Structure 1
Amino acid sequence: MKLVHLCLMCWRTIRQASLVAIRFMQVSLPGRIMKLPNTVWSNVASNYFWSSCSYALLTIFLFNWLYGGYLMFFFLLLTIAGVVYEVQDMLLYHPDHPERSRLLVRTPAACALPYENIQLVTEDGVRLNAFFIKHQGSLLATAPTVLFFHGNAGNIGDRLPHAQRLYSECHCNVLLLEYRGYGRSDGRVSEHGLTMDAHAGLDLLLARTDIDTNKIVVLGVSLGGAVATKLASSAACQRKIMALIIVNSFTSIADMGACMFHSCIAKLPGWMLRNRFSSRDAIRDIKAPALFVSGQCDRVVPPAMMHTLYEACQSRKFFFSVPGGGHNNTFLAPNYSDVIRDFLGAVQGMSAPNPLSVVNNPAKFSFVDYQDQPLPPTPSHELSRGSLAADPSVVYDVNAASQPAHRLVLDSGIAETASMLPSSSSNLIQESHA
């Protein structure tokens, strides 16, 4: 059928060209040739037309005979590429994992946290669900406010244990924003959509009058780290964010694909990737002080990617390494809250830092994991606001022997407390998605 259709198209094209050529010759040729009878012109046109059709049909037949297989293979590859392009979202976003995540969303009331359930609308008209966990009294207006971006699975109810530590131990207000297509939010998830969601969350906080809008901290975990980086690197938001915190995030989708599937994915041109999230490039435009929190037992996102982001960052930066931390339980490190508090205290203590300056010797935190047997007593260094801001080479050590055991996190992005584990089992942490 395709061959017949192609022949008909050629016939129509040649017929039109023949009529145009005959008309041109009648007008252009002088003298007696112009006075030839119309029957002669008709015979000329007929012969020219049918001979042209014969040549065209022969050309199509020979091309299909010689190169038809290559042509079919090309169209097959094109079809496969289109299917792969369309299913990339299915590989990256998991709003239905675990089951019923679109239906059951735990509220902060389950953790006895005071909150507001907010419905906000993005620039393109998509309705988003959010929980604003806020302090009471005067602390609401003075405490930093964390804009929290979650990972690629579950919903904001699954991040309540993380938010509870930020609220209770770090004394922060927390806005848990639920992406489009997740939980009770409307819409379909995409990279461009997540960018608009992030801007809508920031605009919501900036419009509030009951918080200090000069103390907005953007925190992203895994996929949320890429969303947070993209938000903080945009020119319109660089001066509106006090600090950036990235936990177990990646450098780009192409790099993650290369790690999980094949190295050739990293060499694909950008137009073949439906989602890019190139944090390695965006992090260079960050102006706010940044804290990078990396679990060294992360079996989803290679910890080396966090070091790459850290090295690429050009603002005032800090690094907190958790040797026993997996992809989903790094925030359960005993001194996680202490590091967050010290970092925020140092940021608030900075006196009008130059956002374009590059710190040659940025501060690094290190978390020393515990062991079964008691460790030799080591002094614990407390970082005051002044010492951290003034001495970029200080190292944050933990007296690990006195710390409790880690807790197990079962599902991707789900921070539910399980049984206490001995230190020898700290690596047996079930993880799945980025």
Structure 2
Amino acid sequence: MTHILITAAGSHGDIAPYTGVGARLRAAGHEVALATHDSYAPLVRAAGLEFRRLPADPRTRRADPEDATEQARRPPAPGGTRALMRQAAAFVKELGGGIADAARDDTDLLLLSATTAPLGHHLAEARGIPSLELPLVPAAPTGDFAPVVSGGRSLGRWGNRAAGRLSLRVIDRLYADAAREMRARLGLPAATPRTVRRRAEAAGRPVLYGFSEVLVPRPSDWRTGLDVVGNWWPWHAPDDRLPPVVEDFLAAGPPPVFIGFGSMAGGEGERLSALAAAALRRAKVRGILQSGWAGLTTRHTSADDDLLTIGEVPHALLFPRMSAVVHHCGAGTAAAGVRAGVPTVPVPVTADQPFWAARLAALGVATAPIPFKDLSTDHAVARLAHAITQATAAPARRDHATAAAHRLATEDGAGEVLKAAERLLA
């Protein structure tokens, strides 16, 4: 029996898709462990996977105002980029030791998320075992679009490629200290992250991207071995149902609008809850607020039978029951809205979120994005209400969403990972 180790670090959206991948591999007869943070141990074990711990858990550290992972989710203050890099490098350095500890002697294959891949490749080299990168967002330079963290604005084909190469060098710098320590610990000769990355590129090492060509067609100038295979959906039990309180709410009126910001906007729950409730009332629609890290709740709004607060529930079960979804446009949440065939109101905060928001709008399944910072203006309620009305009242947008959902339904991203893993194991 083969033993596969998946490593993933970050927030819920960075972890949950790999539970679906792991469950698919396990169903094919492989022993699968998922190394991630303590907060996600129940998620991992529920999928039937072995949990192994990684340090630097964002959920237990996010109350610290100096915490790197929390700060990384906020737009940097002027002149704050250098400090942000130092904080992120400290997070990566802590992560490196945990990844080395997570691999047992019987590990046959490493599957690596974007965050863990620059460290996991050193481990694979030391152990002499194959590895496979499984990023959730496009990372290789291309002329087709600028790096996803640049906000989605094209710089022209030459500029896009140059910016893509620059972004890789920034990542190399970010991982430099952690890589040096890890290679020394593993008894490997010194090599910079850039050297290791270029060796992998020269060898044509395969990379499978876990998003759909419905949203991002495979770039025309990517090398052979960089493949877009479709989304990996978070695992949930086949007999899972929505909580009774949610079912009762859904049965009490027309389909509501979902509002949630995932792991964004920590500590802004009271303000955002009041804003969301006011916008929903102004748009004359019912709403479900998902608490998330922001702490959205109806407790700070006036009593209203047309609002409900929920915790974590599978988007695969909830989103198809909505009339529209309002969210931060993380990669997984954006794809979940498309999969459900419902229109989206994108409210991107940072990182790759503006990229996905622009993709949804270009596909015709979303309204024009509302940058999160604009929810602090005097016209925020009116603007959000107008976008909700546009999303729920335009049949063409829902038709586009339905058509995109049908296309996504034909893809089997986890199945493609299984095929690639078994080729490497062979």
Q: Scaled by the length of structure 1, what TM-score is found?
A: 0.31
| Structure number with higher relative contact order (C-alpha < 8 Å, ≥ 6 residues apart) | 2
